[in-house]
Amino acid sequence: MAPSATETVTVPSRPVEHSQVKLTSNTGPYKELAPIGYEKEAEEQGKDGFQAAKYRNYLPTWGNEKYPPLQLFEHHDPGLDADKNFPELLAKGVTTNDLTPTIGTEVTGVQLSTLSPAGKDQLARFVAERKVVAFRSQDFADLPINEALDYGRYFGRLHIHPTSGAPEGYPEVHLVHRGAGDKTAEAFFQTRTSSVAWHSDVSYELQPPGTTFLYILDVPETGGDTLFANQVEAYNRLSEGFKERLHGLKATHSGIEQVDASRGKGGAVRREPVVSEHPIVRTHPVTGEKALYVNPQFTRKIVGYKQEESDALLKFLYDHIAFGADFHARVKWAAKTVVVWDNRVTLHSALVDWKSGQRRHLARIAPQAEAPVETPYKA
> Could you write out the DSSP letters of every residue in 223-259?
---EEEEEHHHHHHTS-HHHHHHHTT-EEEEE-HHHH
Span 337-370, pLDDT tens digits: 999 999 999 999 999 998 888 999 999 999 999 9
Neighbours of 32 (CB within 10 A): 15
Residue 73: CB atoms within 10 A of its CB come to 10
Q: Is the pLDDT of residue 22 over 60?
A: no
109 confidence band (pLDDT: 50, 70, 90) = very high
Q: Which amino acid is at 293?
A: Y
Q: How far from 51 is each of 196, 224, 358, 369, CA to CA, in Å?
A: 28, 18, 10, 38
> So what's the pLDDT on residue 5?
34
User: Max CA-CA distance within the chain?
Assistant: 67
**Per-residue pLDDT at 204 exceeds 50:** yes
Q: How far apart are CA 371 and CA 379, in angstroms?
A: 24
Helix (H) or strand (E) holding 363: strand 360-365
- Which sign does the torsion angle of CA 206, 210, 213, 214 carry? positive
Instruction: Give the sign of the dihedral formed by CA 338, CA 339, CA 340, CA 344.
Output: negative
Check pLDDT > 50 for residue 278: yes
pLDDT of residue 31: 56
The residue extents of the domains of the chain are 11-60+68-374
CATH class of 11-60+68-374: alpha beta
Distance CA 159, CA 162 (A): 9
Phi, psi of 278 (to 5 degrees): -125, 150
pLDDT in the model for residue 191: 87
Give the pLDDT of residue 183: 86
pLDDT bin (cut points 50, 70, 90) of residue 33 is: low
Of 303, 281, 274, nearest to 368 by C-alpha is: 274
Give Cα 37 to chain centroid, integer Å.
22
CA-based torsion, 201, 206, 212, 218: positive or negative: negative
Residues 144-161 have a mean pLDDT of 98
Instruction: Of 31, 18, 34, give the one whose Cα is nearest residue 297.
Output: 31
The pLDDT assigned to 186 comes to 86
Lowest mean pLDDT across 38-47, 204-213, 365-374: 38-47
Q: Is the pLDDT reported for residue 28 higher than 60?
A: no
Asked whether the predicted pLDDT for residue 70 surpasses 80, the reply is: yes
Q: How far apart are CA 376 and CA 317, in angstroms?
A: 20
CA distance 29 to 297: 9
Look at residue 200 in the predicted model and tell me its pLDDT. Answer: 98
Q: How far is CA 259 from CA 25, 53, 141, 159, in A?
A: 15, 28, 28, 16
Closest CA relative to residue 271, chosen from 109, 121, 77, 67 = 67
What is the arithmetic mean of pLDDT over 18-38?
A: 59
